[in-house]
Amino acid sequence: MNLSNNVKGSMSTASSSSALKSGGDGAGAVDQFPAGLRVLVVDDDPTCLMILEKMLRTCFYEVTKCKRAEVALSLLRENKNGFDIVISDVHMPDMDGFKLLEHIGLEMDLPVIMMSADDSKNVVMKGVTHGACDYLIKPVRIEALKNIWQHVVRKKKNEWKDLEQSYNSTEEGDRQQKASDEADYSSSANEGNWRNAKKKRDEEEDAEDKDDTSTLKKPRVVWSVELHQQFVAAVNQLGIDKAVPKKILELMNVPGLTRENVASHLQKYRLYLRRLSGVSQHQSNMNNSFISPQEATFGTMSAFNGIDLQALAAAGQLPAQSLAALQAAGFGRSTAKVGVSVPLVDERNLFSFENPRLRYVDGQQQHLRSTKPTNLLHGIPTNMEPRQLTNLHQPTQSLGGMNVNASTAQSNSLLMPMAQSQPRGQMLNENTTSHVPRLPLSVGQPTVPNGISNAALGRNGIAGNNRGAAYNPIPQTTTLMASFPANQATEMSASRFPLGSTPGISGIPPKGTFQEEDTSGIKGSGGFVPSYDIFEELHQQKSHDWGQNVGLTSYDTSQCVNLHGNIDVLPSVIVHQSFSSPTQQTGQNRDSTLIGKAMYSQGKGLEQGNLQNIDQNLHQLVENPARVKTEIISDVNSHSNFFPGLYGQDDLMSALLKQQEAIGAAENEFDFDGYSLDNIPV
């Protein structure tokens, strides 16, 4: 259609209108969009009304103007689907603009933009609380009107996502959802759901492929029914509060079983219990969402090969279990399943995703950060988790669910920045709506990133996982974790895969150390902590920085990988932290578990000390996301190195720098086969 011909905006032809209506016709809608957007303008001021109409027409929108609110409402009621967006003045003689806003929100659920010459804060706040999607100050400039279509798209996306969530009773669905979520988060420019659908399909395909390979790789601890029963018996014997991995391990007396295995399993179990006790469905949803993001993130990791699979396998296993548990609870599946294969698939999918997912990842990450810091940790080494959880919690509150709680967690810092930029807006909204007791994650942002991060974690290091993806896994776990006391954090950590360790399960054990309060373990967390702090700081201070950095992943794979790795790590870290201290902002909750304590103590020191530094570092990090990654990755790889790098902001920065300059160098640090910084050894 010739849009240019229609200055009056009458160009919104039926086709474009319908395209818009269908919300995602694909190419057709995209081409014309946002032209033809059907706008209803309500203002008692005839001058403004005329000017607005002219401006909107110039933007190629279809305009209907109205002097009175009552007339506007009846117009809307008569044509339920006749409009895409409403712009309304605040002060009107016959009806208060906010009242109209409420009506529209309730009856038609259209995006409403408020408008006024009044720019006082309380009025603008009123707009926010009443649910306006934007507030324009008069005199309105045409530039402000040009972008109103984003609100329509955003709303559609969220709706689509919600629908997806409700329909998703399987992991696959979750994945898809994640995909869509990712899409949502990635940018407001996402047009149509078809993209999400497409993504999902890709993800699924990828995941399946991954599954095969990953199973071949690492020997994984399979929690069979008997094993699980032994585990549960041990836990019950000890008492759920007192059940620590070490003791459980002793009680179980299973040869070949490591503390880390138990720890991670305990984490999942706790989450599962939590879920049973009424954890919001958010978490389930989130889990689902995580899965998808993970997939997405992993996709970026496509650079990985065998190692990834292993990591995935390892990670997948654990997360799968937890996920399974979670999902089972949520979806009615039998929770008894320990080694749910499905989750694995999800994770795998994550890995198999292409870089394009990165985009989502970023967005997701942001979400993750805001909503569920913990989930991210899903796959992340346990070390970080406890700490992170606390951190996560805290930030979440502030961010509106931002995972950032883990102010201390390094990952937080990393994650936060990323999550911040995008999800911010969205997440905040979502966060506020969801209960956050656990983790702001509940916000319902499936925080795809978390899922991904989890997956990433399993991979051995979040290596390059899409940031977003990395986060997803974590959020999931975190949410679950969040609900649990710190104890769970330990669980999480246990189940989380070793980030830095060698691909495959072997890597995991190192993480286990965290839980056991090993200094080494703690170190790990400590290492992360700095990042959390950084992120946290970053997040809070520069939400945008990270968002951009997160986008880093777009750099060449190696770099990206690293970044992801970093991020993934962080999420987990954050997650842990958040769990341990849901309420604490600083992630200082350490009382939950020993590990948590251990971690916290370390992290705490780091946090506080490093917060400042980290903040600065973060800045640097932000600028050099790659750097951060290197830091983390290197840390991950070598447990011993892990902390040192993390602790020192300088180290971190230098690591990042190093990474930037020579990703290869980073590779040397890690044991990953063939991966460059992708895997953040944990």
Partner 1 sequence: MDVGQMQRQLVEYTKSLFIEGYLDSQFLQLQQLQDESNPSFVAEVVSLFFEDSERILKDLTFALEQKIIDFKKVDAHVHQFKGSSSSIGAQRVKNACIAFRGYCEEQNVNSCTRCLQQVKQEYFIVKNKLETLFRLEHQIIGAGGSIPMVELSF
Measured from the CB atom, is 94 or 109 closer to partner 1? Answer: 94
Distance of closest approach, residue 123 Cβ to partner 1, in angstroms: 11
Measured from the CB atom, is 7 or 189 closer to partner 1? Answer: 7
Helix/strand/coil percent split, the chain, to 5: 70, 5, 25
What does the alpha-carbon distance between residue 403 and residue 574 come to, in Å, rounded to a whole number?
7
Measured from the CB atom, is 77 or 141 closer to partner 1? Answer: 141
What does the alpha-carbon distance between residue 340 and residue 321 come to, in Å, rounded to a whole number?
5
Measured from the CB atom, is 46 or 674 closer to partner 1? Answer: 46
- What DSSP element (H or E) covers 112? strand 112-116
Name the DSSP class of 472. B
Rounded to the nearest angstrom, the gap between the alpha carbon of residue 95 and the centroid of all alpha carbons in its chain is 40
Please choose, from the candidates 133, 105, 14, the residue with its C-alpha nearest in 3D space to the C-alpha of residue 62: 14
Measured from the CB atom, is 89 or 651 closer to partner 1? Answer: 89
Distance of closest approach, residue 61 Cβ to partner 1, in angstroms: 14
Distance of closest approach, residue 83 Cβ to partner 1, in angstroms: 23
What are the CA-CA distances from residue 57 to residues 7, 12, 82, 90, 446 (Å)?
Answer: 6, 10, 17, 22, 38
Provide the H-helix boundaries in 336-472.
Answer: 341-351, 356-371, 384-395, 410-421, 423-433, 448-458, 467-470
Distance of closest approach, residue 407 Cβ to partner 1, in angstroms: 41
Rounded to the nearest angstrom, the gap between the alpha carbon of residue 590 and the centroid of all alpha carbons in its chain is 24
Q: Are 366 and 423 in contact (CB under 8 A)?
A: yes
609 contacts: CB under 8 Å, gap ≥ 6 = none
Measured from the CB atom, is 8 or 242 closer to partner 1? Answer: 8
Measured from the CB atom, is 39 or 682 closer to partner 1? Answer: 39
Distance of closest approach, residue 7 Cβ to partner 1, in angstroms: 5
Measured from the CB atom, is 138 or 544 closer to partner 1? Answer: 138
Distance of closest approach, residue 478 Cβ to partner 1, in angstroms: 47
What are the CA-CA distances from residue 1 to residues 7, 29, 36, 191 (Å)?
Answer: 13, 12, 11, 19
Phi first, then psi: give them for residue 228, nearest 5 degrees. -65, -40
Q: At 285, list the tokens.
A: 């949803």
Measured from the CB atom, is 45 or 162 closer to partner 1? Answer: 45
What does the alpha-carbon distance between residue 302 and residue 304 come to, in Å, rounded to a whole number?
5
Q: Is the dihedral of CA 641, 320, 568, 633 positive or negative?
A: positive
Distance of closest approach, residue 138 Cβ to partner 1, in angstroms: 5
At position 673, the amino acid (one-letter code) is D
| 504, 507, 512, 514 alpha-carbon torsion, rounded to 10° | -140
Measured from the CB atom, is 89 or 362 closer to partner 1? Answer: 89
Q: At 224, list the tokens.
A: 């069979």
Residues that bind partner 1 (CB under 8 A): 7-8, 44-48, 50-51, 54-55, 58, 89, 91, 93, 116-118, 138-142
What does the alpha-carbon distance between residue 368 and residue 457 come to, in Å, rounded to a whole number?
15
Q: At 331, list the tokens.
A: 């979806």
Measured from the CB atom, is 45 or 673 closer to partner 1? Answer: 45
Distance of closest approach, residue 36 Cβ to partner 1, in angstroms: 18
Measured from the CB atom, is 55 or 456 closer to partner 1? Answer: 55
Measured from the CB atom, is 51 or 252 closer to partner 1? Answer: 51
Q: Are 361 and 465 in contact (CB under 8 A)?
A: yes
Mapped to the 3 state alphabet, what secondary structure does 307-329 carry? HHHHHHHHHHHHHHHHHHHHHHH
Phi first, then psi: give them for residue 62, nearest 5 degrees. -95, 120
Q: At 148, list the tokens.
A: 């109103």
Measured from the CB atom, is 14 or 50 closer to partner 1? Answer: 50
Q: Tokens 């200094």 belong to which residue?
A: 519
Measured from the CB atom, is 116 or 394 closer to partner 1? Answer: 116
Measured from the CB atom, is 143 or 226 closer to partner 1? Answer: 143
Q: At 473, list the tokens.
A: 């896994």
Phi first, then psi: give them for residue 63, nearest 5 degrees. -115, 140
What does the alpha-carbon distance between residue 673 and residue 590 come to, in Å, rounded to a whole number?
35
375 contacts: CB under 8 Å, gap ≥ 6 = 286, 287, 290, 368, 403, 439, 441, 447, 450, 451, 453, 454, 471, 472, 473, 474, 475, 476, 477, 478, 479, 480, 571, 575
